Structure 1
Amino acid sequence: MVKGVRPGARRAIAVLVLAAAVLVTAACQSSPPEPTEAPTPSAEPRPVGTSQPVAVSFSPLRGTTTDPAAPAHPSLAVKIDDHEEARPQIALNRTDLVFEELVEGGITRYIAVWHSDVPDSVGPVRSIRPMDPDIVTPLGGIIAYSGGQDQFVAMMMATPLKNIVFDYDDTGLFHRADERPGPHDVILRSKEAVGRNAKLDPPPVQFAYGTADPLADPALKAAPTSKIALVFSDARNPSWDWDAGTSSWLRSQEGRADTQEGGERVRATNVVTMRVGIDWRYGEVPKTVMVGSGEVWVSSAGRTAHGTWKKDSQAAPIVLTADDGSPLRLAPGNTWIELVPKSGSVKFAP
């Protein structure tokens, strides 16, 4: 008995003491929870991917991505006729590069270059001119033409390129197309020509390439351009119109839409316009002066930037430099190089 505590209070204390005793007893009789074991690390290795990295290569004359094995063959340069009776030409939109040059009579001819996409046939094929060795030597590979003056053929034969000449060919690489008027009817079996010479080296890179809009840098001061108007002579005034829907320049000649065989409009991703001198040492046959330097405009993605071109030797590539001293880059795709005489004119419309 606890002294000094009332009987009611003593009963309450006793109840509390009894409850505490019950709780202590229950706690002592409960088993502690068993410890949880940590998961055993799996002995199996982590899964890894089985695919190998994909190699990426670039077409040397287009700057477009391609399978690494695809460029492992030579380029094919062909002298292509641009007489009115030679149109429409075959497979111009599958070219990597096209050079347009002045020839006698004020008309123009092309050196068209196929590498990344060689068609079965190209043409019409015409004769060589004195500036052509300077144009094609940096490419290496194959040059095909119908013939030419002996002195011009000798100049081309002196280059490292494999010469395939209609006048001398007895292997069946050329044929005449019955549906075309002569002499604008010589057709080359282009894929076969490349296949027969597949061990020749592929071409080296000729131009610097950038993004799809390579002239966007404000430092280049590229002007918006909707139309390029060129005059080679009284007989030739080609032009190009920018088509945003196809991201390409669409070609016209003498004010009429220019089409290739099959009706497709001739087009280009880039148009490079070079002002060039003309050497008249060969009488009525003009020689475009390719070794030297001059004014240039690069038109791509609806813009045109100004700069200079330079070519140090016959074997050297053409180098394009912007007015601020930086490289003038092209968009990945096909390119036309317009070799406009200084006696002609060049205009760009916004």
Structure 2
Amino acid sequence: MTTTLLATLLMGAVATACTSGEPLDDGRGDMPPRTDGNSTPANPAPRAASPLAVKIDNVPGARPQTGLDAADLVYAEQVEGGLSRLMAVYATRLPDAVGPVRSARESDLELLRQFHKPTLAFSGTQKKLLPLFDKAPLQAALPEKQPTAYYRSSDKSPPHNLYLRPKRLLASAPGADALTTGFRYGAAPAGGTAENTRTVRFPATRFTFDWSGKRKHWLVSMDGAPTATAGGERVAASTVVVQYVKIRESKYHDYLGSNTPYTETVGSGTAKVLRDGKAFDAAWKRATPADGTEFTAPDGTPMNFAEGQVWVVFARA
């Protein structure tokens, strides 16, 4: 090929690239990203998925709850007076309704840091805590900010009758990638002890998990009564984690003057993992709030969970 012909071909390639808007490959393998003509990448890097977390009332007057069976993950936390509250996390499925929705606590901020900018649906929090929630890396979906996403039910009396329509907050379920918990799923580890039932007690609440060989799940009961949704669906978990943590007093109190417990979910400790009709000893570690929680067997190997809904009950160490 002559020098003149080669130059002509190169000039044509440059002209084609310029007129088509395509970036010119200079041969270094680091071409600039394609744009849509407005300096915006036409194929931007995928954004991390963000789940929906909902604070759910769990006093007897709030039961049966709605949408609890659709959650990927349910956290059970101790609140004032030894009672409990639930935080349900949704990523793979969005039910039509969830509730009753109640208020958030300071320790929720630490727990939620493991997710990428989660949307938190809650009815409010103490006024002194609001600045912390405003600064936190989350989307606070309060009823006064998202009024069309909430409704009051006539089936229960206030304050146990506030419900959320999740699909009015998220256009679609973000998918399993949003569950950045550090949990691993797979075959059960070796060993374990056969167990049919396990009860975890808070001062004024108790959770019981009964293994169902037929359903291959742990059937959930609270305060001695089977836990079912308002639609009659029995709530059942594939894996139950009893995570022993430090629960200390915070500097906040409720309107009755009762201290608000702070559940520390960053650090390390022990746990019991229930799956496949067995109980397994485990250790847990979460180095920073931005990390998920790692669970390991006594020999140091990762502790696998069974696929399906996971319940994590924070018990006092």
TM over 0.5: yes
Name the CA distance, whole Å, in 2 between partners of 1:197 and 1:160.
20
Superposed displacement of residue 170, structure 1: 4.8
Q: Which has the larger radius of gyration?
A: 1
The answer to whether the Cα contact below 8 Å between 2:94 and 2:172 also exists between their aligned partners in 1 is no
Identical columns (%):
33
Cα RMSD between the aligned structures? 1.9
Conservation of the 8 A alpha-carbon contact between 2:94 and 2:173: no
Q: Scaled by the length of structure 1, what TM-score is found?
A: 0.71
TM-aligned CA deviation for residue 155 of structure 1: 2.3
2:68 counterpart of 1:92: yes
- What is the alpha-carbon distance in structure 2 between the residues aligned to residue 196 and residue 118 of structure 1? 7
Alignment-derived partner of residue 304 in structure 1: 279
2:94 corresponds in structure 1 to 118
Does the alignment pair 1:317 with 2:292?
yes
Secondary structure of the 1:134 match is helix
- Deviation, 1:204, is 3.1
1:139 shift after superposition? 1.7
Tell me which residue corresponds to 2:213.
Answer: 244
- Runs (4 or more) in structure 1 with deviation over 6 Å come to none
State the AA in 1 paired with 2:206. N
Give CA-to-partner distance per residue, 1:16-74, whole Å, 9 cap, x none.
xxxxxxxxxxxxxxxxxxxxxxxxxxxxxxxxxxxxxxxxxxxxxxxxxxxxxxx9953
- The answer to whether the 8 Å contact 1:90/1:121 transfers is yes
Deviation at 1:300, TM superposition (A): 0.5
User: Deviation at 1:80?
Assistant: 0.5
Instruction: State the match for 1:327 in structure 2.
Output: 302
Q: Is this contact kept in 2: 1:278–1:286, CA < 8 A? A: yes
Match of 1:5 in 2: none
SS in 2 for 1:306: strand
Q: Does 1:259 align with 2:235?
A: no
> 8 Å contact 1:73–1:194 — kept in the other structure?
no
Summarize the alignment of residues 10-29 of structure 1 with structure 2, pairs less than 5 Å apart: none
What's the offset of the Cα at 1:232? 1.2
The answer to which of 173-182 and 92-101 deviates more is: 173-182
Match of 2:130 in 1: 153
Shift of 1:79: 0.5
Among 284, 295, 312, the residue aligned to 2:270: 295
Residue aligned with 2:113, SS: helix
Classify the secondary structure of the residue corresponding to 2:305: coil
Q: Determine helix, strand or coil for the equivalent of 2:304.
A: coil
* Distance in 2 of aligned mates of 1:138 and 1:89: 26
Aligned to 1:154, the other structure's residue is in SS state helix
2:243 to 268, 274, 279: 274
Q: Give CA-to-partner distance per residue, 1:242-279, whole Å, 9 cap, x none.
A: 00100000011121211111122211000011011112
Q: Any unmatched runs of 5+ in structure 1?
A: 1-70, 343-350
Distance 1:170 1:138 in 2: 24
Aligned mate of 1:182, from 158, 170, 173: 158
Asked if 1:173 corresponds to 2:143, the answer is no
Is the CA contact 1:127–1:146 (under 8 Å) kept in the aligned structure 2?
yes
- Please state how far the C-alpha of 1:151 moved relative to its aligned partner: 2.9
Q: 2:239–2:275: 8 Å Cα contact kept in structure 1?
A: yes
In the TM superposition, what is the alpha-carbon distance from 1:153 to its structure 2 partner?
2.9
Establish whether residue 224 from structure 1 lines up as the match of residue 180 from structure 2.
no
Counterpart contact for 1:132–1:156, Cα < 8 Å: no
Give me the TM-score of the superposition, normalised by structure 2: 0.78
